[in-house]
Amino acid sequence: MRYIPHTAEDVRQMLETVGVTSVDDLFAEIPSSLRLRRSLALGEPLAESELLKKIRRLAAQNATADTHASFLGGGAYNHFIPAVIDQLISRSEFYTAYTPYQPEISQGTLQAIYEYQTLICQLTGMDAANASMYDGASGCAEAVLMAVRATGRRRILLSSALHPEYLATVRTYCRYLDLDLIEVPCDAGGGTDGAALLRLLDDRTAALVSGYPNFFGVIEDLSAQAAAVHAVGGRLVTVVQEPIALGLLKSPGELGADIVVGEGQSFGIPLSYGGPYLGFFAVRQGDIRSMPGRLVGQTCDREGRRGFVLTLATREQHIRREKATSNICSNQGLCALMATIYLALLGKAGIREVAGHNLAKAEYAKGKIAALPGFSLPLSGTTFNEFVVEADEGAAVVLERLEKEGILGGIPLQRYFAGMDKRFLVCVTEQNSREEIDALVSALAGGKQ
């Protein structure tokens, strides 16, 4: 692409057209204290070849899952991505496709979304799934708003074991909506405290929101939570930040969840420094009209040929504002396609096998670390591929030492929770070999294993 900067005459004509005399006048609404009064520190211009070398040198300073043995999780997971996914999504009709408003010319995209919705329903055990959300955190916030719409109540119970960034997103979405957001504490096992939950539930409760597995990697007792919430007429919102776990666990739908949301990055989407990712959202049939976003359905034309259309789109662009369920504006089409290819490629048996590798390797690592002097597993709850480790010294010191040995050992929990300066969250996926796990254990032991 050629880049031709504007000439002084171009700028003069544009300013004259919009009715201002200088470029500064365009930004008059921005307080002067917020404006940058110097040039960007970019250095001298470089030739393209020189620029590429410089960028590669800068990139080489990063510690990534390619350069280090990574045991990082906490909402973004290092899973294997089959090469066929990049090959298929690179087809121009998928790579450049935008929102599929015109069904007669969007059949490929609409069919891909329809199949994505079907796969998410099969995975979660729910009746209907929308065409995807921005990410797991925004999906969680939209689920809270949906529970309020569906019940007409304004009290939300949020498990303290939810991902802290999901909790922050919920609070941001609800900041000016006059909702009563109450956190339910954790028990000694790292799950939502059942006794505290029963004390907080009442007939004003719209929903309980809990993780499955939760942020600490602990598998919550969804059946008990569903029974308790349903007894007061509320909804159970289940948040799945690591959906590979559903390859082994009973689906949230089977256990009584009313709304299931989560992050789909584990399904063939690269880590990419945090995005773009994919939020999935599934509901019961009875609540389908309260669901945000859009739903693609299957139909047939006048000649009986199968086709796909936008069946439900409850945004204010489509229906009256007071009837709209959300202003969320687009699905993550390309990411949803990646997840669709991943799930279709692996199938039920493949997802189960990947999940089995995650569980087995994480249990191996847990056993080895728990046996180390100076380290323990403070939470007793059952986990999938993540677990909390406590050290005798500060977690930040431990993790910094590991990184010098080429190991990204986990996420320090002090970042999110006061008083947890000695704890860190370790994640083991199918990408971690036994040699890597043994190297982690040896490094934690100071090279004495």
What's the token pair of residue 272?
């990419």
Architecture of domain 83-342: 3-Layer(aba) Sandwich (3.40)
Asked if domains 69-80+350-445 and 83-342 share a fold, the reply is no
The domains of the chain are located at 69-80+350-445, 83-342
Cβ neighbours for 393, distance < 8 A, ≥ 6 positions apart: 374, 422
Q: Measured between alpha carbons, how far is 200 from 178 in angstroms, rounded to an integer?
A: 18
What is 69-80+350-445's CATH superfamily?
A: Aspartate Aminotransferase, domain 1 (3.90.1150.10)
Below-70 pLDDT ranges, the chain: 1-3, 97-101, 316-317, 329-330, 448-449
pLDDT at position 19 is 93
Q: What is the pLDDT of residue 226?
A: 98
Predicted local confidence at residue 1, as pLDDT: 45
What H or E segment, with its residue span, contains residue 340?
Answer: helix 333-370
Distance CA 129, CA 123 (A): 11
pLDDT of residue 316: 65
Q: Long-range contacts made by residues 68-71, C-beta under 8 angstroms, separation at least 24?
A: 68/403, 68/406, 68/407, 68/408, 69/406, 69/407, 69/408, 69/432, 69/436, 69/439, 69/440, 70/408, 70/431, 70/432, 71/365, 71/407, 71/408, 71/409, 71/410, 71/426, 71/427, 71/428, 71/432, 71/440
pLDDT in tens, 298-339: 999 899 999 999 888 877 667 777 777 777 766 788 999 999
